Chains A and B, each alone.
Chain A
């Protein structure tokens, strides 16, 4: 083998090893570390495991927000068909309002979604795409309206 060819061989072997190691890491990481998104109807229909983190999205049901004690907040997320009660402790985003879109990260405990993070849209015109999708699937989405 010429030195040139040997060098190429080393390079190819190193590349393949690095690629394989990287791919293995990535596949393992993706298996355990992604968050799935479910709409309220998904939770009613599909079997969504308890105590596993996922994201939920929909509209904050009108008249459902109850604050206190302390930093605790309770509200209901709906896609127009199904409702899911949510409990959260902490600071709410600037544009958290009843009747507006919201996406929360957390897990189900005994039918209540315990949120660790609550995100709302960040301007009047914008609606989280997951929420739009959830409303469309529930047949409650009006184009051009919020």
Chain B
């Protein structure tokens, strides 16, 4: 029954999504009224039915209902409960249901919050309805998760072991909250164009959705990077893999959008540009989905190589992006432009921020899509890796990071550069001293790493100075806390990246039991490799003593696991965070006579990379909380302000 209930719920959800889109768009023309009320009701109903379908799918995975094809192909009775749950979205069909579930959550919130007035809300609901209908149609036509299998197999095929990991339980839902959150920003942008209300109050209405999306993307990317670090066994935290880039591009544009919308809601500046960024952000989310889901790329994320699905997503991509850009071209010239600002002003810094972030996103876009285009047109197979990004993305980002601290110190419309420089001088001094000190004392392996270290110090020191100044001026509110945390978080991540660039050391050798290798001041001695097993895998576990100055300080146990149900093998690295640096040990392949390849990386300060991501997300939360608090506690004052 579960499958039929789920399928029926999806069909009803599609009907409601269509109602929502028509009623919403109709409501945008009048002064709200009946049509707008219908759209709101439809949005709530959509959430109910999509939740029902999603719940049915999760239930089928939990009870291992193998009469459903999707469950039989992606689950196994021996899997731990957590991975039965997460297996529900660890496959193409389920992940699309999760996508629509998040979309309907955002729709319901738009309907509930009624931000920016009745017409704007109604139009935004209409656009969201269109998106939900398109995705539901996609699910029902090409990716039905509830297809029955008769007769049901006795056992399922299992889930890719790389996905059987606590990090993967939360990373995809977070990324989806981000991608789909950008759909809410997109819906508000289209709504602003339709109603002609893309002004300061529009930016204020759409901002919580942009923030929610940005926070989720930041955490999702941080989680994904952490997952890649400890599962892939190569000691790296970012590989410029197309799938990673697919999440980085929307993040860069979402970051630009947050900053540009800041100016829009404050002075009404950049309103067309903010609208365009909102369209671009969601378009890149769709591009990312297309890349990852269509099988154009092969990676752990590409579940199915189905050209039909790829074609459908491509079609959706063209209609959504083309439609939005056409709407933009038609309506944007009718939007009023904001007030003028001086070349030395916060607006100017926000403008530079936007240009640099967009340029950075463009370099990632080219680096990601150029190989695909070349393959499609000329049949040439190339791959673009870290060296390309090191000379395109990195310099653009370095300029951006240098400019970051000036923004919060300059006033709106017209700022005082002298006073900003005077206030920031100590931070500049600290950064220069840090850069020189690192160069002189710690002998960094890379000049770029040393520069990154100085930039990181500059970001953190100036954030602290800015926070202290504002505290003394009694203007340290939620929004100041947000910018301090977000900018300092960027600096914290950068310190981790710089330290790994400068002082990472690695060694790999074939070790027989009792033999050892030395790396970065540690000696690692292989005690032996034993057989062990988990709930659904067998493993070889290496027991390796870590010695410092001849004394054993720790024993680490990296594993090599074989999953018989899935016919796959993965490495489980052992990461020992000693104080501030990571000792990262991976067990390689067997080389006969009980000897094994052992790979060791010493990554100083590496945990800061992900800590910085979390601090940045906290900054976003501070901004979101400040706004929601105002909205909840003083709804009338807030409405008047809008």
Contact = CB atoms under 8 A, between A and B. Distances in A.
Given A36-B381, A128-B298, A71 B340 contact: no
A7 interface: yes
Contacts of A94: 560, 568-571, 589
B508 interface: yes
A22 B382 contact: no
Contacts of A45: none
Given A18-B356, A36-B381, A94-B571, A71 B509 contact: yes
A30 B340 contact: no
A95 B589 CA distance: 10
Contacts, number: 118
Interface in A1-55: 3-4, 7, 10-11, 14-15, 18-19, 21-22, 25-26, 28-30, 32-37, 55
B321 interface: no
Interface string B149-187: 000000000001010000000000000000000000000
A18 B362 CA distance: 11
A30 B509 contact: no
A143 to B, nearest CB: 13
Contact of B388 (A3, A33, A67, A130): A33
B592 interface: yes
Nearest to A32: B387
A129 interface: yes
A99 to B, nearest CB: 15
Contact of A30 (B160, B356, B384, B510): B384
Q: Give the residue among B351, B362, B568 with the most A Cβ atoms within 10 A.
A: B568
A112 interface: no
A33 B391 contact: yes
21 contacts: A4-B340, A11-B351, A14-B355, A18-B356, A18-B359, A28-B391, A30-B370, A30-B384, A33-B388, A34-B384, A35-B384, A68-B510, A68-B592, A71-B597, A92-B597, A96-B589, A123-B567, A124-B567, A124-B568, A129-B298, A130-B381
A125 B586 CA distance: 25
Interface in B552-599: 560, 566-571, 586, 588-589, 591-592, 597, 599
Give 8 nearest A-B pairs by CB, closest first: A91-B588, A37-B381, A124-B567, A94-B569, A33-B387, A33-B388, A91-B597, A22-B359
Contacts of A28: 391
B560 to A, nearest CB: 7
A29 B367 CA distance: 9
Contacts of B34: none
B392 interface: yes
Interface string B371-400: 100000000111111011001100110000
A122 B387 CA distance: 25
B391 A25 contact: yes
Contacts of B355: 14-15, 18
Q: Give the residue among A96, A126, A128 with the most B Cβ atoms within 10 A.
A: A126
B340 A7 contact: yes
A14 B351 CA distance: 10
A111 interface: no
A101 to B, nearest CB: 11
Contact of A133 (B367, B381, B387, B392): B381
A122 B337 CA distance: 53
Contacts of A71: 508-510, 591, 597
A25 B392 contact: yes
Nearest to B273: A11
Interface in B376-428: 380-385, 387-388, 391-392, 395-396
Contact-size category for B: 35 or more
A144 interface: no
B275 to A, nearest CB: 15
A70 interface: yes
A36 B374 CA distance: 11
Interface of B: 160, 162, 298, 300, 337, 340-341, 343, 351, 355-356, 358-359, 362-363, 366-367, 370-371, 380-385, 387-388, 391-392, 395-396, 508-510, 560, 566-571, 586, 588-589, 591-592, 597, 599
Given A18-B356, A37-B383, 8 more contacts: A4-B337, A14-B355, A30-B370, A71-B591, A90-B588, A91-B597, A122-B300, A123-B160
B292 to A, nearest CB: 15
Nearest to B337: A4
B162 A26 contact: no
A35 to B, nearest CB: 5
Contacts of A67: 591-592
A130 B379 CA distance: 11
A36 B298 contact: no
Contact of A122 (B382, B392, B568): B568
B569 A91 contact: no
Contacts of A18: 355-356, 358-359
Interface string A116-139: 000000111110111001000000
Contacts of B384: 30, 33-35
A26 B597 contact: no
B127 to A, nearest CB: 27
Contacts of B381: 36-37, 55, 130, 133
Nearest to A55: B383
A94 to B, nearest CB: 4
Contacts of B340: 3-4, 7
Interface in A60-100: 67-68, 70-71, 90-92, 94-96
Contacts of A4: 337, 340
Nearest to A120: B569
Given A33-B384, A90-B508, A128-B298, A22 B391 contact: no
B382 A36 contact: yes
Q: Give the residue among A4, A34, A92 with the most B Cβ atoms within 10 A.
A: A34
Contacts of B160: 123
A14 to B, nearest CB: 6
Contact of A34 (B371, B568, B588): B371
Nearest to B380: A36
Contact of B589 (A7, A22, A26, A91): A91
Nearest to B598: A91
A11 B337 CA distance: 13
Contacts of B366: 26, 30
Contacts of B586: 91
A10 B269 CA distance: 14
